[in-house]
Structure 1
């Protein structure tokens, strides 16, 4: 059961994600369709709002927010490992998952996966579609991680297992699926247009929604663990 604090956290996070997506699309529409750059000017201070809220730009508002979401996932998993420290398989599994999420947080902020394209080959082919080099590497890494973590994953409660699976599908649809489509589009039309901006919003939006599902799942799991712990303590005291 989701407590009031859990519900409030999720409402705030969902609202923030929706705001970033809608604001990004609105600003990109003004720039590419209406031909207007949105700027914030206060005295001598001047900032390009469109640039700062572009979801496809590293180290700006969207990337910083996504980094925070991924880091929060990692910390929640570490806390779950602490709560389940008496169960070695669960504790080790959560620690490994946390390390992956914390690395992904750093990757989101510094765009390490895209920089790696220069080392492994920028583009490849999958049928008629252009595939960035890092997507090919990610496909291999994800496959290996699925194999390595499958034992821990099957040990999870069925409801948590299903939620995390859905989260992974949503996240990878944005991170890999939409990335392939947008890369093919850029090769033909370039990145400086409204259609590509909408693809970027879809990609980043799916990634953030996937992470939100993980956060919601972990909060629910931690709440269940805490409830069982309290009930066990009450049982011992009686």
Structure 2
């Protein structure tokens, strides 16, 4: 049996964005309820963008996995064409799978150690210590991928730069802003919650823009991509 599935990059991006809007509205409502009306029921953690291992976390993680899978498809095409950059595509897909694991498991949160930051006498915006190795890794990535990005088609390059700027701006930039504000007035207030919300929204929108750009590029590379599903039934009696 054969069936055809048509994927529109625009519609994928639209529905992913609607999901982000829904989660953002829920999170803001929960934060207002918590800090203005003192409504602190346990169920609210499920939609709180400032918490881990909940619906927004899995939503972000699955978008990162999607980026990795789409890049994996591009890598397969580039390798078959003996493109000079196919190894960079393969590594990029691995990076996104690692980011997805980190997002879902919150591995980087292990490095948020206030005592360590105090012992090292770090500025308040570096109190989330993980931003230091994170910044170093971003610098290494830009250094390694600079020529690769120059090679990209103009349209994909634009989406690539916008997506990375949003994601890194949220993950590192807003994390430092939040840490700075934490040093002034702590985390248990509405302002900090809104800063954390902006951080997560920037990361998620970066993923949406990247998915849109990748799907558009993949469609240009191979408009009629075929995915085959085959089910083998093993005989019960041999």
TM-score (norm 2): 0.84
**Structure 1 segment 214-233 matched on structure 2, within 5 A:** 214-227=210-223
Match for residue 31 of structure 2?
A: 28
Task: Flag structure 1 segments of 5+ consecutive residues without an equivalent.
Answer: 39-47, 230-238
Residue equivalent to 1:112? 107
CA contact (8 A) 2:168 2:203 kept: yes
1:143 to 2:139 alignment: yes
Q: How many residues align?
A: 218
Is 1:7–2:10 an aligned residue pair? yes
Describe the SS at the equivalent of 1:66: helix
Q: Distance in 2 between matches of 1:228 and 1:93?
A: 24
* Cα separation, partners in 2 of 1:105 and 1:52, compared to 1, 3 Å: same
Correspondence for 1:65 among 25, 46, 59: 59
SS of structure 2 residue aligned to 1:59: coil
Distance in 2, matches of 1:144 and 1:173, equals 16
Matches within 5 A, 1:144-223: 144-223=140-219
- In structure 2, how many angstroms separate the alpha carbons of the residues matched to 1:108 and 1:198? 19
Equivalent-residue separation in structure 2 for 1:110 and 1:118 (angstroms): 17
Could you report, residue by residue, the CA deviation over 1:67-115 in whole angstroms, capped at 9, with x for unpaired residues? Answer: 0011100111001111222134232111111111110001111111221
Return the offset for 1:227: 3.5
What residue in structure 1 maps to residue 235 of structure 2?
none
Aligned to 2:76: 82
Deviation at 1:228, TM superposition (A): 9.3
Partners of 1:120 and 1:133 within 8 A in 2 = no
Name the one with the larger strand percent: 1
